[in-house]
């Protein structure tokens, strides 16, 4: 059977927006118990998502619960780490887990992401119910935005209390990551602008900060299995946060679970295999825009808003 035919056959199993098909490192179907047993032997598992895709969020919840049960059998602690909360929000997250504040306070005062209730509430509530720590792993959004506007030198302007919210080495290079980032931003073969370099610096600040947060959690909870939730770009091909983690601790057993749309399977198979990366197929989201004029109006407003926010940078 040809690769496109295999992809079509696998895609036939995706009947609803909640359905997914698990694949092993060789893109062959794998059962959930077998995948969990494999992931449970790791030190860190990064589960990538396509933000807002219901299948991603359902899989994350099921894997977290299954890995927690498996870890209990191994007498190992489990820690949940999340891109969706930033370091300065850790106290609010901890207070919520301890029952000191309610969900409305968490959502509004953190603040949580707009899709928190539908996408991340199940993870947080499971952690709260079972006494699992949650690591608010990401770099502060305002600082990342300003790095994107001014570049790496922005960090030098930060007061100590804000500088501590970033990784000690926020711009540590991740091999092959820049090429992937710039290919997405400006296309292959195009000149990389200064603005694109600043955006990459902002991306590195996120990835290095999340990697450092995961390592800090591993020190705080010895022998723990850390399950980290992030957007797929932060961990696919063991780059991004996964790469930054391995740069700091090469001996760690790091596994990655990466989403794919069916029409991307053949392209992915053409790349060098990653034996520590597993995959799951899911249905694509509806197209965000059909009307080009409306799309441009939305983007214009977004850029205007971002420009206004950038004025607040030091």
Q: pTM above 0.85?
A: yes
Dig out the tokens for 241 from the structure: 């946060």
> Do 241 and 59 form a contact (C-beta atoms < 8 A)?
no
Q: Could you state, in chain order, the average pLDDT of each consecutive group of 10 residues for the chain (314 residues)?
A: 58 90 94 96 98 97 98 97 98 98 98 97 98 98 96 96 97 95 82 92 98 98 97 97 98 97 86 86 94 91 81 84
Dig out the tokens for 44 from the structure: 């860190």
Domain boundaries defined on the chain = 20-310
- Domain 20-310: give its CATH code: 3.40.50.11550
Q: Where are the alpha helices (DSSP H) in the chain?
A: 3-11, 32-39, 54-73, 90-97, 103-109, 116-119, 121-130, 141-150, 160-163, 177-185, 194-220, 240-248, 265-269, 292-310
pLDDT at 9: 65
Distance CA 182, CA 254 (A): 25
pLDDT at 185: 87
pLDDT at 273: 73
Distance CA 93, CA 97 (A): 6
> Do 270 and 261 form a contact (C-beta atoms < 8 A)?
no
């Amino acid at each position: 059977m040809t690769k496109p035919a295999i992809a079509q056959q696998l895609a036939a199993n995706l009947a609803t927006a909640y359905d997914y098909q698990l694949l092993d490192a060789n893109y062959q179907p794998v059962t959930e118990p077998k995948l969990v047993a494999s992931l449970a032997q790791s030190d860190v598992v990064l589960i990538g998502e396509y933000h807002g895709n219901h299948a991603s969020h359902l899989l994350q919840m099921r894997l977290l619960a299954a890995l927690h049960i498996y870890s209990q059998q191994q007498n190992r602690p489990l820690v949940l780490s999340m891109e969706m909360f930033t370091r300065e929000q850790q106290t609010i997250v901890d207070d919520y887990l301890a029952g000191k504040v309610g969900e409305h306070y968490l959502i509004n005062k953190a603040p949580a992401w707009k899709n928190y209730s539908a996408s991340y509430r199940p993870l947080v509530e499971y952690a709260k119910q079972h006494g699992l720590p949650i690591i608010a792993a990401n770099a502060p959004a305002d600082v990342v935005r300003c790095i994107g506007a001014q570049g790496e030198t922005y960090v030098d302007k930060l007061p100590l209390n804000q500088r501590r919210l970033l990784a000690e080495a926020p711009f540590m290079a991740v091999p092959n990551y820049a090429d992937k980032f710039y290919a997405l931003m400006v296309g292959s073969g195009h000149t990389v602008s200064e603005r694109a370099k600043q955006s990459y610096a902002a991306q590195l600040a996120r990835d290095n900060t999340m990697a450092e947060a995961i390592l800090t959690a591993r020190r705080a909870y010895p022998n723990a299995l850390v399950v980290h939730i992030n957007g797929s770009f932060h961990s696919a091909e063991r780059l991004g946060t996964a790469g930054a983690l391995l740069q700091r601790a090469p001996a760690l057993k790091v596994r990655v679970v990466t989403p794919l749309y069916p029409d991307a399977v053949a392209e992915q198979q053409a790349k060098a295999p990653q034996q520590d990366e597993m995959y799951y197929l899911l249905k694509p989201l509806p197209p965000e825009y059909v009307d080009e004029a409306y799309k441009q109006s939305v983007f214009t407003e977004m850029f205007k808003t971002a420009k206004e926010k950038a004025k607040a940078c030091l």
